[in-house]
């Protein structure tokens, strides 16, 4: 397993993790592993897992650590993740961070990126966000007319996520501050953390991330 490039991307919901991870995954030829995407696909496909977690996702709550840990562990056994992965939405609390160290063993995390944006900006972005139910492509509500509610990539339906409603957004931001933000110190203490300003234009944020990857010899 040595030489695996595991990069964790932290940041509030709406910080741009999904968009930047999709770009990075392509550039680094490693998969974008988003626990939120995995869970939403299960909900959409009405699998037993999906039926179990549907209500939790819609309310903006967190799925239990053991269940999400199992999903991540399984995902890492797939062939495309042998060279590494970009983790988006995991870990989300101290218990998940500890479990991730156990899952990865010696072949640990190479870098933790924190995409920093203000809570005001993310609340604004999240309420304007629309996603393709099929492929997860991300749009803004202002794009919807241009694409007639149909994904330009795959033709799937473009909808608002249940957890992008105002009440669920507030709950998710509070959970981030309480449970996820402490991971910044956890990874900083391990010398793994780099902050990137996520407030700028998409391309500027991508360029800033690429600069970090180069500095760390990962690109």
Binding site for ligand AMP (CB under 6 A): 13, 35-36, 39, 56-57, 60-63, 68, 89-90, 92, 96, 163, 172
Whether 92 is catalytic is yes
Tell the smallest beta-carbon distance from residue 19 to ligand AMP (Å).
12
Place of tokens 């690109």: 219
Of 12, 17, 23, 75, which is the active-site residue? 17
**What φ, ψ does residue 158 adopt, rounded to 5°?**
-100, 120
216 labelled catalytic: no
75 is catalytic: no
> Do 109 and 6 form a contact (C-beta atoms < 8 A)?
yes
- Report the largest interatomic distance among the alpha carbons of the chain, rounded to a whole angstrom: 49
**110 has catalytic annotation:** no
Nearer to ligand AMP among residue 13 and residue 20 (C-beta)? 13
Q: What are phi and psi for residue 206, nearest 5 degrees?
A: -60, -45
Query: What whole-number distance in Å separates Cα of residue 73 and Cα of residue 77?
Result: 7
Least distance between ligand AMP and beta carbon 172 (Å): 5
Radius of gyration of the chain from its Cα atoms, rounded to whole angstroms: 17
Q: Closest separation between CB of residue 36 and ligand AMP, Å?
A: 2
- The answer to whether the beta carbons of residues 196 and 215 sit under 8 Å apart is no
Q: Name the residue with the smallest CB distance to ligand AMP.
A: 36
Distance in Å, CB of 211 to ligand AMP, minimum: 25
Positions marked catalytic: 17, 92, 129, 161, 172
């Amino acid at each position: 397993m040595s030489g695996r490039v595991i990069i964790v991307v932290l940041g509030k919901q709406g910080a741009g993790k999904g968009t930047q991870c999709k770009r990075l995954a392509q550039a680094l030829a490693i998969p974008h592993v988003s626990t939120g995407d995995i869970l939403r696909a299960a909900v959409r496909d009405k699998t037993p897992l999906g039926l179990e977690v549907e209500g939790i996702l819609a309310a903006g709550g967190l799925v239990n650590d053991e269940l999400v840990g199992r999903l991540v562990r399984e995902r890492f056994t797939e062939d495309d993740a042998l060279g590494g992965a970009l983790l988006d939405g995991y870990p989300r609390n101290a218990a998940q961070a500890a479990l991730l160290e156990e899952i990865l063993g010696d072949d640990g995390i190479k870098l933790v990126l924190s995409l920093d944006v203000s809570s005001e900006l993310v609340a604004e972005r999240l309420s304007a966000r629309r996603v393709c139910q099929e492929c997860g492509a991300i749009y803004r509500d202002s794009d919807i007319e241009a694409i007639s509610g149909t994904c330009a990539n795959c033709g799937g339906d473009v909808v608002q996520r249940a957890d992008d409603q105002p009440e669920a957004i507030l709950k998710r931001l509070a959970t981030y501050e309480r449970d996820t933000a402490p991971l910044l110190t956890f990874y900083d203490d391990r010398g793994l953390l780099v902050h990137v300003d996520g407030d700028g234009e998409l391309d500027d944020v991508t360029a800033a991330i690429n600069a970090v990857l180069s500095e760390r010899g990962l690109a």
